Chains A and B, each alone.
Chain A
Amino acid sequence: MATIASLLASTRNPFPCFRQPLYPGSRSLVFRRYLEPCGRRTPTVPRFIRACQPSEKVGGDGGGVSASAKSYHFGNELLSFASDNFLPLALVTGVGMGFANPSLGCLADKYSLSKFSTCGIFIISGLTLRTEAIGAAVKGWPLGIFGLASILLLTPSFSRLVMLFQLQPQELVTGLGIFCCMPTTLSSGVALTHLAGGNSALALAVTVASNLLGILTIPFWVSRYIAGGVGVSFPTDQLFRSLIVTLLIPLIIGKVIRETFKGFANFVDNNRKLFSRMNAICLSLVPWVQVSRSRSLLLSVEPKVFLAAIGIGILLHLSLLAFNALSIRILSGLSGDYNSKNSKGNGTAVLLVASQKTLPVMVAVVEQLRGAFGEPGLLVLPCVAAHLNQIMIDSILVNVWLRKSNASSTDGGSDSEDESDIEEEIQEVQNNDINNRYLQDNSDDDDDIDTKRVIKPTKDKRFEEMTHTVEQMKNAMKINDWVSLQENFDKVNKQLEKVMRITEAVKPPTLYIKTLVMLEDFLNEALANKEAKKKMSPSNSKALNAMRQKLKKNNKLYEEDINKYREAPEVEEENEPEDEDDDDEEDEDEFEDDDSKEAVTDEEVDETTDTRWETMLNKKDKQMEKLLSKDPKEITWDWVNQKFKEIMAARGRKGTARFDLVDQLTHLTKIAKTPAQKLEILFSVISAQFDVNPGFSGHMPIKVWKKCVLNMLTILDILVKYTNIVVDDTIEPDENETSKPADYDGTIRVWGNLVAFIERIDTEFFKSLQSIDPHTREYVERLRDEPMFLALAQNIQDYFERMGDFKAAAKVALRRVESIYYKPQEVYEAMRKLAELVEEDEEAEDAEEESGPISSFIVVPEVVPRKPTFPESGRAMMDLLVSLIYRNGDERTKARAMLCDIYHHALMDNFGTARDLLLMSHLQDNIQHMDISTQILFNRTMAQLGLCAFRVGMITESHSCLSELYSGQRVRELLAQGVSQSRYHEKTPEQERMERRRQMPYHMHINLELLEAVHLIGAMLLEVPNMAANSLEARRRVISKNFRRLLEISERQAFNAPPENVRDHVMAATRALTKGDFQTAFEVLNSLEVWRMLKNRDSILEMVKARIKEEALRTYLFTYSSSYESLSLEQLAKMFDVTEAQVHSIVSKMMINEELHASWDQPTRCIVFHEVQHSRLQSLAFQLTEKLSVLAESNERAMEARTGGGGLDLSSRRRDNNQDYAGAASGGGRWQDNNMNSGYGGRQGNNRSGYGGRPGQPRDWSGQNRGGGYAARAGSGNRGGMQMDGSTRMVSLNRGVRA
C-alpha cells in the first residue's frame, strides 16, 4: 500500500500546479515551457518531458536508491519512466496545453476534434479487439451485468450525497449531481482498461451498453434526484445518433478492418504498445479540448469554491471506486473464482468503467436543460474538473496496478526489493507484451549494471525471476498462446545468461533444463494436434513455427543435460529450491517411492517421467497423470478398481471433459490387473466413447468410432481367450467379481451388453453417413469403414453362436443383413475386395500402434480375426444370415430380416421368390403395427419389388407394388429419401427432426426417377386400354388414380412442349398410345435417361416395346371395333408389327374375357365383330343389380367390422388358410394372429392371387389417409377378375366400388 500512497502523492503533485501557474520553479512550469515549443503530438514528445523529470520523480518517492540511480544511464531511465507513465503524462500535458494556449484547443473544438478522438479510441479498440477476447467478455457476463447495474442504477444515487454539500454558487454542486447520473465515459474507461491489461472487450461492451441504455435512464434519475420530480426533457435521438456515430460505428469499422486484413491484425498484435500509446494520446486530447474551451470560465470562478468543487469531485470518484471495488470483490467472492486471471481482468474492467462518468453526455443534457438549474457554464465546470480528475486518478491507479502485479509476482521477500528492481520488472513485463525493439536493446545495458553490483541475494533474485518467467510460460502454455511463449522463451534465455554469469556455473540450472523439456513436450504435442493448429490465429501459428525452430536450435546445446534429466529427473529435483503445490508434492512422494524400487524397466521409467512432466503442464489432466505415474508394481486390483470407480463417478457430471474421461479410462484398461477387470473397464470406455457426442443430432466423431470398434474387438479378444468370462446385463455382478484372476476356475460375470454396443456402433455409422454430404470424398472414405464394422459384427455373432446365445446372434446377424441387403452383386463384390485391401493397411497400422511405449498388463493377442469373411455372392451370405435369424430371432428381427431378404431377392430379379416370401410372411397385413423404421424398410422393399417385377416384365404386379407408394405425393417421405413439403400439413420442428433422423444414407437410395418412370409406364400400359375399353360406359373403372390425374393435367394444356422430365415423357407416350401409335410411344420412352440405370437395359426395353405393341393393339381394338364389321388377322399383325400367333392369342383372350364382342372366322382368318346393344331398360337393370351387390357387400363389411370379421364363411376360410401358410413360411411366431383384416380381400382363390393390391395399405405411419388401402386392394381385385375370366367379371367390378 505504501507504494500506492506514494505514487498517488507523486502524481497528484502536478495537478495543483493548475492553480498556481505563476510559481516559477514548479514542475508544471517546466512542463509548460517544454511543451510549448513542440505543440504537436508525436511519439517523441515524452522524451523531452523525461529529460527533466527523473530527479524530482524519484526524489519525490523518497526511495533510497537515488545515489545509485544517478549512475544509471540517464536517457534510458527517462525513457523507461516515460513509457511507464505515458498516460498520466499525456493527460497532464493535455491539461497544461489547454491552459497555456486555449486558442489551439478552441480551434480543435471547433472542428470537433474531441469527437474524432473518441472515434479514434474506438477504432483502436476495434482494431485490437481479438475475437477470443469477445468470448472472454461473454464469459465475464455476471460482472458485466453488475457493471451495467452499477452505472445505471446504483451510482446515480450518489448524487443524493453530493447534493448534501453546500457551495456558493450551488450550480457547481448541482452540476456534480447531474454528473453522477451519467453513464460511463466513452473513451477513457475503455482505454484505461486496455492499458491496465483488463478485459477491454468487457469494458467496451459495458460502455456501449450503458451509454445506449443511459439515454433512457438519465432523464429519470435527473428528475428524481436533482429536479425533485420535475420532468426533464432529453435529446434522445440526437444523443443516440451521436453515440452510434462516435461509438459503435468506429468500433465495428475497427473490427472489420482487423478481420478483413489479416496482415493488419498481425501488425496490430505485434505493436500493441504503439496502439495503446495512440489510445492514450487520443484520450489526452479530450481534457485538452475541454480545458481550452472552459478556461475562461474556470478562471472566473473563485478558486476556493472551485477547489472545493474539485474536492467533492475527487471524493465522489474515490467513493465510487471504493464502492465498486467492494461490490466486485463481494461478487467475485460469491461466484468463487476470485483468483483466476480472467476474473481479475473482468474486475478491472468493470471497476474502471463503472466508476467513471461521461462528460459529453452531461454537456448535452445541460444544454437541453436550458438553465433550469442555473448557469450552464457553471454546471458544467465542476464536471469538467471531475472528469479530468477521474481520468487522472484512474490512470494513476492503472499504473499502480501494473507495478503491483509485477511486484507481487516477484514477491517473496519484497522488503529488500529496491525501486530499480521494480522498474526492471515492469520493463520486462512490458517486454512480454510487446516485442519492443528499443527497450530490448536496453536490457543488455542493464545487465552490465547488474553485474557490477553483485550482491548476495542477487543470485536468488535471478532465480526467482527465472522461475517467474517459467511460470508465465506455463500460463501461456495453458492458453496455447505461442506469441507470449516465444517472448518468454527469449527472456528466459537472457535470464539464463545472467544466472550463469552470477553463479559462474558451467551447467545451466535444472530449472532451465526442466523448462526446455517441458517446452519440447508441449511443442510436440501442439504439433501433433493438427486440428488445433489449424484453428490458431495466424500470428499464433507463426509464433509456433518460430518457436519450433528456436527450440530445436537451442536444445541442441543442452542435449546432454536434457537427456540426463529425462532419465533421472529426481536427482535434480532435490536440488530444486522451488515450492510446489500440494499436488505436486504428492506426486513427488509417489515418485520417490518409485525410486526405492529398483526393478523398474527402463521403458516404464520413461513413461512415468514423461507423464510426470506433463503434470505441470496441465492441471486439468492431473488426475490422469496421477494414474499414469503410478508405479506398475504398486498397482493392485483394489487400486485400479477404486480409480475406476472415481472416474466413473465423474461421468456425466457437469464439467467433466468427455474426452478426458475416455483417455483416463483407456489408460486404466492398460493397467487393469485381471482380464475381467480390463473387460469391465473396456465396457466403460466404450460407453464413455458413446457419450462423447451427446444428443441425437450429431454423430460420433469418426476417429472415436474407429477406436470404439477397436475396443470392441479387444473385448472380444478377451472373451475368446478367457472363456470363463461371461458378459451379462441382467444380473448385478458381485462387487469383487472382477478381482478373480485369469486362471479362476468358475465363470466370472461381467456386466455389459455386446448387442447393445454393436447396435449403437451401427447406428452411429448410419448417422454419420446421414450427415456427411454424399457428394464429397469424405462420404466415400466413410463408406470404406463398413468392412470394419462387418468384421466386428461377424466376430460378435460368432462369439454368441459359440456361447449358444442365438437370440443375440440373430440380432447381430440382422445388423449385418441390413448392411448388405441393398447391395447388388457388383457392389458386394467391390466391398469384398475392399475388405481384403483394408485388412493389409490395418495390419500396418496395428503394428505401429503396438510398438508404442505403453504396454498393458493384460496383453491380449489378437485372437479374433480383424477381417470380415464374405461368401462369394451376396445371396449366399444373405441366406446364411437370414436363416439364422429365422431360426432364432425375435419378432421384429425376423420381420426386418424378412424384408431385407425380400429386398435382396428383388434386387437379384427373383421376383417369384421375393413375392412368395412377402406373401408367406404376411408382413403386408401387420406392417402398420411395426415401428417406423421397419415400415420404411417395408416401403423400400415394395419399391424394389415393383422395380423387380418391371424388370422381369410383370407389369401388373409392378404397378400394384408401386401404386400405393404413389397414391399420395409423398414418395420421398415414404422411402425416407428426403423430406417432402406438404401443403396442407405443417410439420413441427420436432417432427421434422425425427424425419431427418430417419433418412436413408445416399448410397442406399432407390433412384426415384427410375421408380417414377416404372410406375408411370406400368400405369400407362394398364390404364390406356382400360380407358379405351370403358370409354362408353357410364361409370369408369380407374386403375391408377395418380395416372389419371396426371393425364388430365396434361390434356388441359393447350400446347404440349417437348417432354422434359419423366412425367412428360410418359404423358407424351400415352398420347401416342391412345391413338395406337406404338412406334412413337416407344421412341418417347426410349429417350428417357433413366434406362441407363438398369443392368440389362436392352432386354428390358425390348420387353417394354413388346408390351407397348400389345397394349396398342388392345387399345386399337377397343377404340375402333365398332367401326369394323370384320378385321383380318394379317392386317392387324402388320399394323402392330406383331406375329400373327401373338395377335391371335391376344384377341382370343379378349374374346374369352368378353372384352371384345367378336369371334374368329377361321377359314378367312379374320375377326368378325358382333354388335351387342342393350336396351335402356336392360342397362338400367344391370345398373340396379350392380348397386344391389354393392349394398350387400357393404352390409357384409359392416357386419364383419362389428363381429371382428369372424362370421362369413368366405373370409373365415381364407383366414384359416392364411394362418397355415404363414406358419409354413415363417416357421412359427405370431404372424398368423395378425390377420384380422385379411379376410376383407373379397377375392376368390387362395391368397396368392390376393397379392396384388395389398402391399400399400399399411404404410400409413403418419396417421393420414387411412382409407387408401382399400382402394388399392379393391383395384387389384377387379384386375384379377379382368384377366382371368369373363363370368366373374361383374362381381369383381362391384368389388371395385367398395372402396
Chain B
Amino acid sequence: MAETKENYDLTPRVAPNLDRHLVFPILEFLQERQLYPDEQILKFKIELLNKTNMVDYAMDIHKSLYHTEDAPQDMVERRAEVVARLKSLEEAAAPLVTFLLNPNAVQELRADKQYNLQMLKERYQIGPDQIEALYQYAKFQFECGNYSGAADYLYQYRTLCSNLERSLSALWGKLASEILMQNWDIALEELNRVKEIIDSKSFASPLNQVQNRIWLMHWGLYIFFNHENGRTQIIDLFIQDKYMNAIQTSAPHLLRYLATAFIVNKRRRPQLKEFIKVIQQEHYSYKDPIVEFLACVFVNYDFDGAQRKMKECEEVIVNDPFLGKRVEDGNFSTVPLKDEFLENARLFIFETYCRIHQRIDMGVLAEKLNLNYEEAERWIVNLIRTSKLDAKIDSESGTVIMEPTQPNVHEQLVNHTKALSGRTYKLVTQLLEHSQGQAAR
C-alpha cells in the first residue's frame, strides 16, 4: 500500500513549479503523513534551504538530522555572510524605508506614479537606485523567511516601480509571501492580479507564457483548497481554454485537482462535460484514481469500477498535501474534503445509475454506494424528499422504481430554438458594427 501511496504522490511533479519556500509546507505535510523516511525529507529540506537565507532553520534541521549540537562550518560562515549582506541591503534601502515608515510622508504619495517618483527624487533624494535597493531588500527578507516584511516592502515597491518585468516579479513575491502567511483572501487577490498580467502581457515566447500559467496554477493550489470559495475558483481558472491547454501540454497532473474540484463542487456541473472530454483525451498521458473515477462514471458506465476507484480516491485525498488538509476536531482529526468528496462521488454514481435504470434493487444500490442497506435507504429517501430524485421506493420488493423521464416534446423544441434568437441578435449587431466601421473608414 505504501508503494501505491508513493505512486500517487505528486510532489516530484508539483515541486519544480513552486518556489522553494512554497515547497516547505508540502514537505511538512509529507513528514507528518510519514510517506517517506524522515531522514530523506530532512536531507531534502537542507538541500532546499541551502539556496535560501534561512540558515538558522537549516542549522536546526541539521542538528535534528544528525543528532549533534554542532552546526557545520560552512553553515556558520554562510550565516555570517547572510547577516552582513542583510545589513548592507538594509542600509541601501534605509532612506526609502524610513520614508515609508513615516505615515505623514506616505500620505504625500498620490495615485500618479510619475508624480510620486518626481516628488521622491526632489524632496527626499530617493532615486531609482534606492527603489531598486528596496526590491533587493524585500527579496532578501523573503529569502530569510521574513514573509510579512517582504510582503510589505514588495507592496510598496510596486507602487513605485516603473519596470513592468520587475513589477511582475514583485507580484509573484507578494503572492508567495501571502500564501506562506496563509492570508488566503489577499493571496487570491494577488493571484488574480498576476493572472491578469500574464494574460495581457506579451511574452517573449509563448512557451514562456505557458510556463507562467503553469506556475500560477500550481501556486494557486494552496489558495484554492484553503479559501472557502476556492473550489469554484479553481474550476473557473483551470477550465479556461488557455489554462486547460497549458495543463494538457505541460502539467496533466493538475487534472487531479480539477477533477476533485468538479466532484466536490455542485455549482459547476455544466462544465463537467467539457472536462470529461479532456479526460478522455488525456487518459493516455496521465492516470489518477480521481480522474479515472470520473472516466468510469461518465465514459464507460462501469459502476463497479467506479466504486473501486472511489476507495483509491480516498487514499489519494488523504495523502495529498493540498487535498488532505486536516481539521483537528477535539481529539480526532478529519479530512473534511474526503468526506465531501465521497458524498458527492456517491451522488454522481447514483445519478447516472438512475438515469439508465427503471428499477433498482436496494441491496445492489447500497453496495454500489458503499453504504449499508439502511443507510442507503435513508439516503435515497432524503434525495426523494429534497426532490432531487424522481423515484419511489417499493419497500416490499426492496427496489427503487424510477419515474419514466421522457422529455417533453415542447421542451425539446424550446431547447433547440432557444439559442437562435441570441445568435441572430449577435449577428445583426456585428453586421452593423462592421458596416459602421467600414463607413468610418
Contacts and interface: CB of A to CB of B under 8 A. Distances in A.
Contacts of A1208: 426, 430
A1005 interface: no
Contact of A1249 (B209, B277, B356, B426): B277
Interface in B340-354: 352
Given A1163-B399, A1192-B423, A1217-B245, A1144 B284 contact: no
Contacts of B397: 1163
A855 interface: no
Interface residues of A, number: 64
A1181 B274 contact: no
A1159 B424 contact: no
A485 to B, nearest CB: 75
Interface stretch (A226-234, A593-601, A1240-1248): A1240-1248
Contacts of A1192: 420, 423-424, 427
A1202 B417 contact: no
Contact of A1284 (B241, B242, B273, B404): B273
Contact of A1245 (B277, B304, B356, B427): B277
Q: Which of A1160, A1189, A1246, A1247 is the most central at the interface, judged by chain B CB atoms within 10 Å of its CB? A: A1246
B357 A1245 contact: no
Contacts of B419: 1189
Nearest to A952: B284
A1196 interface: yes
A477 B424 CA distance: 92
Question: Which 7 pairs, one residue from A and one from B, show the smallest C-beta to C-beta distance?
Answer: A1223-B206, A1217-B241, A1148-B301, A1185-B416, A1224-B210, A912-B284, A1159-B358
Contacts of B276: 1284
Interface stretch (A159-167, A743-751, A1168-1176): A1168-1176
A1084 to B, nearest CB: 29
B249 interface: yes
A67 interface: no
16 contacts: A912-B284, A1141-B302, A1149-B301, A1163-B359, A1163-B360, A1174-B409, A1189-B417, A1189-B419, A1217-B242, A1220-B209, A1223-B206, A1225-B249, A1246-B245, A1246-B278, A1247-B245, A1284-B276
A1290 interface: yes
Interface string B271-292: 0011011100100110000000
Nearest to A1182: B413
Given A912-B284, A1144-B301, A1182-B413, A1199 B427 contact: yes
B438 to A, nearest CB: 10
Contacts of A920: 249
B277 A1160 contact: no
B181 interface: no
B244 interface: yes
A55 interface: no
A920 B210 CA distance: 13
Contacts of A1287: 415
A1223 B300 contact: no
Contacts of A1247: 245
A1162 B301 contact: no
B434 interface: yes
Given A1141-B304, A1224-B246, A1284-B277, A1159 B357 contact: yes
A1162 B360 contact: yes
B406 A1172 contact: yes
Nearest to A1172: B406
Nearest to B437: A1203
Given A1144-B301, A1163-B359, A1227-B205, A1221 B423 contact: no
Interface in A1122-1153: 1141, 1144-1145, 1148-1149, 1151-1152
B364 A1162 contact: yes
Contact of B244 (A1164, A1172, A1219, A1246): A1246
B210 A1244 contact: no
Contact of B210 (A912, A1162, A1220): A1220
Contacts of B434: 1202-1203, 1207
A1151 B402 CA distance: 15
A1216 B431 contact: no
B111 interface: no
A1224 B242 CA distance: 10
B304 to A, nearest CB: 7
A1213 interface: yes
A52 interface: no
Given A1159-B358, A1192-B423, A1199-B427, A1223 B210 contact: yes
A1228 interface: yes
Nearest to A1195: B427
A1216 B200 CA distance: 12
Contacts of A1291: 416
B207 A1159 contact: no
A1285 interface: yes
Given A1144-B301, A1216-B241, A1151 B246 contact: no
A818 to B, nearest CB: 26
Contacts of A1228: 205-207
A712 interface: no
Interface in A983-1012: none
Interface in B380-420: 397, 399, 402, 404, 406, 409, 412-413, 415-417, 419-420
Interface string A1153-1191: 000000111111000101010100010011001101100
A579 B413 CA distance: 112
B275 to A, nearest CB: 10
A703 to B, nearest CB: 48
Interface string B204-237: 0111011000000000000000000000000000
A1222 interface: yes
A1245 B420 contact: no
A1170 B357 CA distance: 12
Contact of A1189 (B207, B274, B302, B420): B420
Interface string A575-591: 00000000000000000
Given A1141-B304, A1195-B427, A1224-B250, 13 more contacts: A1160-B356, A1163-B397, A1174-B409, A1192-B420, A1196-B427, A1216-B242, A1217-B242, A1221-B249, A1224-B209, A1227-B205, A1228-B205, A1228-B206, A1284-B273
A1228 to B, nearest CB: 5
A1271 to B, nearest CB: 23
Contact of A1214 (B206, B210, B241, B250): B241
A1288 B325 CA distance: 38
B172 to A, nearest CB: 20
B361 interface: yes
Interface string A1226-1245: 01100010000000000011
Nearest to A910: B284
Nearest to A1168: B358
A1185 B209 CA distance: 43
B399 A1220 contact: no
Contacts of A1220: 206, 209-210, 241-242, 245
Contacts of B427: 1192, 1195-1196, 1199
Nearest to B355: A1152
B435 to A, nearest CB: 10
A1121 to B, nearest CB: 15
Nearest to A1161: B359
Interface in A359-381: none
Contacts of B404: 1170
Contacts of B250: 1224
A1174 B413 CA distance: 12
Contacts of A1160: 356-359
Contacts of A1290: 416
Contacts of B146: none
Contacts of B417: 1185, 1188-1189
A1145 B406 CA distance: 22
Interface in A1243-1259: 1244-1249
Contacts of B355: 1151-1152
